[in-house]
Amino acid sequence: MSGLGPRSRSQRAAVGIGFVLVLVFSLGPALVMLSTAFNARANAGSRSVVASQLTLDNFRFVLDEGHFGTYLRNSLVVALGTIVVSGALALLAAVAVSRFRFRFRTAILVMVLVVQMVPVEALVIPLFIEAKGLGLLNHLVGLVAVYVAFSLPFAIWTLRGFVAGIPRELEEAAYVDGASWPRMFWHVLFPLVAPGLIATSVYSFITAWNEFVFAITFINDDSKFTAAAGLRQFFTQYSTNWGAVMAGSTLLTVPVMVFFLLVQRRLGEGMVAGAVKG
Amino acid sequence: MTQTIPTTEPAAGVRPPAAGRRLRHTPRWLPWALVLPALAVLGLLLIYPLGWVGVLSFQDFGLRELVTGERSWLGLDNFRDVFHDPLLRTALPNTVVFAVVNVALTVAAGTAVALLIAQLGQVARAIAVGAIMVAWAMPAVTVTYVWVFLFDARDGFFVELAGHLGLVDPDQTNWFTERLAFYAIATVNVVQHGFPFVAVTVLAGLSTVPRDTLEAAVLDGAGAWRRFWHVTFPLLRPVFAVVTILSTIWDFKVFTQIYLMPGGNGTNRDVLNLGTWSYITAISQNRYGLGAAIAVLLTLMLLAITAVYLRTLFRQEEL
């Protein structure tokens, strides 16, 4: 819409001011987090938003005394477990719903959409009781199971677009060459859908990495905390170690940020490809 | 789950499958074998617990029952308790009014940002899109801590700023203890985190609005405001429907952002919403049946909104 009709100076100024406001509002929290994480005086009474003296001490404290390295490793284990299981299950299900017509196919698709709306608060009570009964509290595998379930609907829904984008002729060519279905799946479908699998894996990763409610409910043992839950320990009843909170937050945020920015464009492309090709 | 913009699947339903050839290679049970593992996980971990929370809401289920596995039925007593609890009179508005206000602000802010970005040149546009992606990618836990830090009592940045301007006495001010101020801060948090999704989706929609139509409107003397309401908005109505309903679903079940604010974990009962009230009742106080009844109320409200969402979606495309 740019360049619609002549633009006056005041209109250009308004757009410029709007641009700056968008940048400040979007980047503000991230910048405050970074500057406090590196601020040597983060806990010295004055809560200035801009660091006057830079230091790595907050990070050193968080990793040494705060055991944040352990929490990050726990988060990584949980996130990787979630990616692998959720990716495999979602790929098979996506192939089924986009390559075959079978009874209840539409019903399954609707269910996949609907279960995304279920509030975490409704699930946490029964799943807590169940996990307690199964002895899964304080085990990371309990969290992996829950996060697989949370990330599956989105992964199925998205991969379905990627699978639909692969021309059927390629499949049929494999059959003509005498391939069985599993061979065709492994040598034709899987390599072609791999970019989509990477994209949805990133979303599963973020779901598992950021999750908070189950992470604080299932885990009491502080050597098993994930990073999102472990941040709470820097709050005590009387004071908060803000330098440590922000340093830990930075360590929590950076991997998510990198993945998110890497995959954002590609995921969009995959969805469009799935929609345009048949 | 942030961007379930469903894609259409045009040719798949139309093209007749090459039946003879495919049947030879794929047994009839194959699709079921492929979809069953995923269905089993969704059934066991999402659908079965959802049914169970409904059952729990009719039971007296506390710490004793958790240990012994006994269960005793209460009928509707849990729901009666919830409806007679004075907390409902604050928790319900804290959920519903908060969601309505936040959805309105998120959609308005996201749309304004999308319209602004559409006005920018290539470089400025890339910078702005990158910036809102950063806002989108921040974990909810992290952003919430940043806002708590900025609004913190006594020496938080905004309290000091308001003190310097003579608006408040920083030593006497703790915004987190007042319900309205608490939710105003939560609103800033949720809108800042939620507007990028709306902006990116509406921006994608704007590129589909035909230029000639807008140029014709300019020739007819329509200003930017009228062009938006009379040309852009009607054309993008389906896009606005989807972002509004998805935002509503997300803002209804906001939990982390409230729970992590000072007092949000139950110490200040004025600021409980249905989600935190249910969680604290069940997990912290071991009154699982009562907590389940609150969760059921929240879920029923969300199901109603979801039904509207699905109807909107089905009107647009065939699954």
**Chain A residues lying within 8 Å of B265, measured CB to CB:** none
Chain A, nearest residue to B11 by Cα: A278
Average pLDDT, chain A: 85
pLDDT tens digits along A177-233: 888 888 999 998 999 998 888 888 888 998 899 999 999 999 988 889 999 999 888
Q: Which residue of B has its CA nearest to A132?
A: B66
Q: How confident is the model at residue B24 (pLDDT cuts 50, 70, 90)?
A: low
Q: What pLDDT, in 10s, does the model give residues B281-315?
A: 999 999 999 999 999 999 998 888 878 877 776 67
Give the integer Cα–Cα distance in Å for B161 and B149: 14
pLDDT on residue B20: 43
Confidence at A115, pLDDT banded by 50, 70, 90: confident
pTM: 0.85
Q: Do A27 and B135 count as a contact with CB atoms less than 8 A apart?
A: yes
Instruction: Give me the residues of B, 237-256, that contact A with CB < 8 A.
Output: 249, 252-253, 255-256
Q: Is the Cβ pair A114, B306 closer than 8 Å?
A: yes
Return residues 191-220 of B near A (CB < 8 Å).
192, 196, 206, 209, 211, 214-215, 218
- Quick check: ipTM above 0.90? no
Domains by residue range for chain A, with CATH: 66-275 (1.10.3720.10)
B72-111 residues touching A, CB cutoff 8 A: none
pLDDT surpasses 80 at A263? no
Residue B191 tokens, joined: 């809108």
Contact between chains at B42 and A126 (C-beta distance less than 8 A): no
Q: Where are the domains of chain B?
A: 87-285
User: Residue B23 above 70 pLDDT?
Assistant: no
Long-range contacts of range A165-174, CB-CB < 8 Å, 24 or more positions apart?
A165/A270, A165/A273, A165/A274, A165/A276, A165/A277, A166/A192, A166/A193, A166/A277, A167/A277, A168/B15, A171/A99, A172/B18, A172/B21
- Is the pLDDT at B11 greater than 90? The verdict is no
At residue B74 the predicted structure's pLDDT band, cuts being 50, 70 and 90, is confident
Nearest to A252 among B52, B136, B139 (CB): B139
CB < 8 Å to A240, chain B: 152
Q: Which of A94-98, A265-269, B127-131 has the lowest mean pLDDT?
A: A265-269
Q: Which residue of A has its CA nearest to B13?
A: A101
**To probe the interface with A, which of B29, B47, B53 has the most A CB atoms within 10 Å?**
B53
Evaluate if residue A6 carries a pLDDT over 80.
Answer: no
| Chain A nearest C-alpha distance from B292 (Å) | 7
Q: Which fold has domain B87-285?
A: MetI-like fold (1.10.3720)
Cβ A96–B296 below 8 Å, yes or no?
Answer: no
* pLDDT of A21 strictly over 90: yes
CB contact (8 A) between residue A115 and residue B47:
yes
Residue B111's pLDDT band (boundaries 50, 70, 90)? very high
**What residues of chain A lie within 8 A of the CB of B308, using their CB?**
none
- Look at residue B17 and tell me whether its pLDDT is greater than 70: no
Q: How far apart are CA B147 and CA B300, in angstroms?
A: 31
**Contact criterion met (CB < 8 Å) for B132 and A152:** no
**How far is A250 from chain B, CA to nearest CA, in Å?**
8
